[in-house]
């Protein structure tokens, strides 16, 4: 049997209303079905997600289904899929998103032509009937550069602020070098340490234009919509980012960017925690204070001076509890 050009890793939990659309659009990516392999992971669904995956696997030989009896989280499910990658390229998609036809054929051609480690693309958000293009925050297209060049500036969006795993295509050497895996067990923010490691350790990347991936917003089961303790994982994720950057040869240059991200996300989650149950809210605030205590004071002060007033005010109490002045 022919080796596929691209392996798609598709983890999903309780995505029954959407997973059929996702799978159907994957069937329209190449003229030759053998060019594609789909690894679908049913991460402990209690709806018909697993049955719909199995139906596609029964009709298309290039669909492989894995099932977790209990939810293990998006990070672990993606890692399970990575163990089944075949061919020279792989990518991710979530169970409530979909792709325009031939997106992967175009990206595979770009990857072969540019000979870089990974590609990144824009994406389209879908909120009800409204669609909006979200641009990858890098000004040059089809230019192969070191991923390190796309980490800064500190206080403007850069490619490490665009962590979406599904917004691109990756050469197999990223997997072989150990740069593709996510921190096991994280239910949210798993892509933050992942994107930083990619940009710190991969050799080359490019942003390219391609048919769109459409990202469905406002889905009730999406972790961006829930307010339970799974959101606490962002603290673990950002602590890992700070650790990665501190150990890097360019730590002095890059640490302000990591601190900026940690403070901005902390402010965001402190506001969101107001809608969490009281025990989870208290735990969120406690863990954020612990994270802030570990941040270098000089970088915190420099970032605070440039943060807008609302975020500074949200962070003030937690920073004082962490021993920082505001």
Question: pLDDT tens-digit profile of 92-118?
Answer: 999 999 999 999 999 999 999 999 999
Domain boundary among 182, 216, 250: 216
| pLDDT computed for residue 224 by the predictor | 47
- What's the Rg (C-alpha) of the chain? 20
Residues 6+ apart with CB under 8 A from 316: 326
| pLDDT computed for residue 303 by the predictor | 84
Residues 227, 125, 163, CA angle at the centre, nearest 5°? Answer: 70
Q: Please give the biggest Cα pair distance in the chain.
A: 63
- Whether 226 has a pLDDT exceeding 70, the answer reads no
Give residue 272's domain range: 229-321
Tell me the two tokens of residue 40: 């679908």
| pLDDT computed for residue 198 by the predictor | 98
Question: Cβ(207)–Cβ(120) under 8 Å?
Answer: yes
- Whether 3 has a pLDDT exceeding 50, the answer reads yes
SS3 of 177, please?
A: coil
Are 148 and 186 part of one and the same domain?
A: yes
Mean pLDDT (whole number) for 72-79: 96
- Give the other-Cβ count within 10 Å of 51's Cβ: 12
Are 100 and 145 part of one and the same domain?
A: yes
| pLDDT computed for residue 228 by the predictor | 57
Question: Cβ(94)–Cβ(152) under 8 Å?
Answer: no
| pLDDT computed for residue 187 by the predictor | 84
Are 212 and 250 part of one and the same domain?
A: no
| Averaged pLDDT of the chain | 91
The CATH number of residue 96's host domain is 3.90.550.10
| pLDDT computed for residue 324 by the predictor | 62
| pLDDT computed for residue 272 by the predictor | 81
Domain boundary among 181, 216, 251: 216
Of 36, 25, 39, 20, which is closest to residue 79 (Cα–Cα)?
A: 39
Residue 221 in any domain: the answer is: no
Residue 298 in any domain: the answer is: yes
Are 126 and 189 part of one and the same domain?
A: yes
pLDDT band at 230 (very low <50, low <70, confident <90, very high): low
pLDDT digits (tens, 9 = 90+) for 144-187: 999 999 999 998 999 999 999 999 999 999 999 999 999 998 88
Indicate yes or no: pTM above 0.95: no
| pLDDT computed for residue 277 by the predictor | 85
Residues 203, 82, 104, CA angle at the centre, nearest 5°? Answer: 70
Domain boundary among 172, 194, 216: 216
Dihedral sign computed on CA atoms, order 168, 173, 177, 181? positive
- If you search the block for the tokens 């650790």, which residue do you land on? 243
Return the DSSP state at 8.
Answer: E
Mean pLDDT (whole number) for 242-259: 96
- Whether 220 has a pLDDT exceeding 60, the answer reads no
The strand ranges marked E within the chain are 6-12, 36-43, 63-68, 89-92, 98-99, 118-120, 123-127, 130-134, 168-171, 205-207, 213-216
Give the whole-number percent of the chain exceeding pLDDT 70.
94
Virtual CA dihedral for 116, 118, 122, 127, nearest 10 degrees? 170
pLDDT digits (tens, 9 = 90+) for 295-311: 998 888 888 888 877 78
Are 205 and 248 part of one and the same domain?
A: no
| Total structural domains within the chain | 2
């Amino acid at each position: 049997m022919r080796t596929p050009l691209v392996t798609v890793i598709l983890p999903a939990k309780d995505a029954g209303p959407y997973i059929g659309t996702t799978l159907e659009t994957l069937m329209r990516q190449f003229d030759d079905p053998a060019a594609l392999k789909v690894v679908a992971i049913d991460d402990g669904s209690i709806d018909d997600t697993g049955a719909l995956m199995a139906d596609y696997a029964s009709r298309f030989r290039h669909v492989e289904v894995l099932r977790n009896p209990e939810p293990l989280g998006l990070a672990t499910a993606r890692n399970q899929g990575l163990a089944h990658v075949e061919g020279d390229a792989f990518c991710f998609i979530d169970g409530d998103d979909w792709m325009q036809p031939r997106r992967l054929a175009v990206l595979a051609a770009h990857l072969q032509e540019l000979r870089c480690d990974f590609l990144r693309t824009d994406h389209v958000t879908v909120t009800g009937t409204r669609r909006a293009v979200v641009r990858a925050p890098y000004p040059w297209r089809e230019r192969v550069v070191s991923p390190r060049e796309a980490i800064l500036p500190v206080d403007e969006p850069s490619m490490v602020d665009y962590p979406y795993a599904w917004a691109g295509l990756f050469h197999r050497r990223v997997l072989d070098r150990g740069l593709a895996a996510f921190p096991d067990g994280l239910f949210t923010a798993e892509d933050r340490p992942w994107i930083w490691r990619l940009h710190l350790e991969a050799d080359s990347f490019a942003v390219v234009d391609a048919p769109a991936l459409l990202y469905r917003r406002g889905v009730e089961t999406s972790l961006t919509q829930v307010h339970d303790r799974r959101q606490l994982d962002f603290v673990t994720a950002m602590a890992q980012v700070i650790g990665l950057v501190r150990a890097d040869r360019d730590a002095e240059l890059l640490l302000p960017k990591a601190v900026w991200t940690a403070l901005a996300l902390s402010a965001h989650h402190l506001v969101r925690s107001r809608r969490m149950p009281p025990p989870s809210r208290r735990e969120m605030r406690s863990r954020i204070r612990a994270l802030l205590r570990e941040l270098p004071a000089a970088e915190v002060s420099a970032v605070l001076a440039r943060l807008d007033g609302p975020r500074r005010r949200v962070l003030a109490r937690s920073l004082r509890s962490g021993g920082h002045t505001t």
